[in-house]
């Protein structure tokens, strides 16, 4: 759904493109970090004792599950079980 008038979309894009590439990259990284924090908080609200592996699994599933077929997802999830993410 997009209920934003085209002229507002154009103005928003114009404002974004006025920023430097570095500023836009920092903005995107900040938005991604915020999204990760929200997912972590959501998982911990439902499962307060979730392990680090469970958090990695949920982050992957929430952000990237649709990007992979079932077989690839399972391989990635298996690797995440043994890795550390800060």
Query: Per-residue pLDDT tens for 71-81?
Result: 999 999 999 88
CA neighbours closer than 13 Å in the CB half-sphere of residue 14: 6
DSSP 53: H
Reported confidence tier of residue 84, pLDDT bands at 50, 70, 90:
low
Q: What is the pLDDT of residues 9-39, one digit of tens each?
A: 999 999 999 999 999 999 999 999 999 999 9
- Mean pLDDT for the stretch of residues 43-69: 94
**Residue carrying structure tokens 């903005």:** 27
Predicted TM-score (pTM) above 0.85: no
Q: Mean pLDDT over all residues of the chain?
A: 92
């Amino acid at each position: 759904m997009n209920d934003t008038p085209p002229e507002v979309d154009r103005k928003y894009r114009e404002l974004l493109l006025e920023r430097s590439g570095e500023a836009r990259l920092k903005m995107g990284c900040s938005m991604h970090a915020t999204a990760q924090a929200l997912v972590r908080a959501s998982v911990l609200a439902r499962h307060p004792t979730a392990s680090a592996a469970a958090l990695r699994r949920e982050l992957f599933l929430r952000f990237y599950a649709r990007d992979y077929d079932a077989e690839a997802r399972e391989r990635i999830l298996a690797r995440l079980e043994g890795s550390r993410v800060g």
